[in-house]
Amino acid sequence: MSDEREKNKSCLVDIVINRDSLGRNTPDVEHEREVAVFDLLDDNYFEPDTPGDGPFALHLSFVEGRLVFDIVDTNEQPHSKHIMSMTPFRGILKDYFLICDSYFEAIKSAPPSKIEAIDMGRRGLHDEGSRLLMERLKGKIKTDFATARRLFTLICALQRRG
C-alpha cells in the first residue's frame, strides 16, 4: 500500500468480487469488470458511516437480486455490511445497456454528430445511475460523485451479460 493511500483513510484499496454469485461470462465482460475495478481503486473516496479506520477492502456479491457490500479493513477484519436492492436500478441499467449497444454499433459507421449525441445520452444515464447510487448509499457509505460514477460503472459491469 502506498504512503499516500495510508494517509487517506477514507478509500478502498482492494475489491474482491464473489464470482460464484455472478455466474460465468465472456472474456470481454470479464475484462470490462477488471478495468472497472482498476479504475475505482485508482482514485476513490469511500467512507462508511459506521465508526472505524480505513483504508478499506470491499467484498461484492449478489444474493437474491441484491448487491452485498461487505466492508473489511486491510487485515480482512469485518467493518460493516450493507445490502442494496437492485430493483431501483433496473430501468436505468436496461436503458444504459441499450444505449451502450447503440453507441458501439454507431461507432462502426455513423457520422460523428450521431455518435456524439448517443454518447451524451449514455453519459446522462450514467450520471443518473451514479446519483441514484449515492442516494441509496446515503447514511451507509459516503462517496464523492466521481467515486459513485466509477462504482456505478463497476455495478454495470457486474450486471452485464455477454
Q: What is the pLDDT of residues 93-117, one digit of tens each?
A: 999 999 988 998 898 999 999 999 9
Which alpha helices (DSSP H) does 27-111 contain, by range?
27-42, 90-109
Mean pLDDT of the chain: 89
pLDDT at 1: 42
Round to whole Å and give the CA distance between 74 and 20.
Answer: 23
Q: What percent of the chain has pLDDT over 70?
A: 93
- Rounded distance, CA 150 to CA 57, Å? 16
Do 57 and 71 form a contact (C-beta atoms < 8 A)?
yes
pLDDT tens digit sequence for 66-95: 999 999 998 889 999 999 999 999 999 999
> Lowest mean pLDDT: which of 20-29, 55-64, 81-90?
20-29
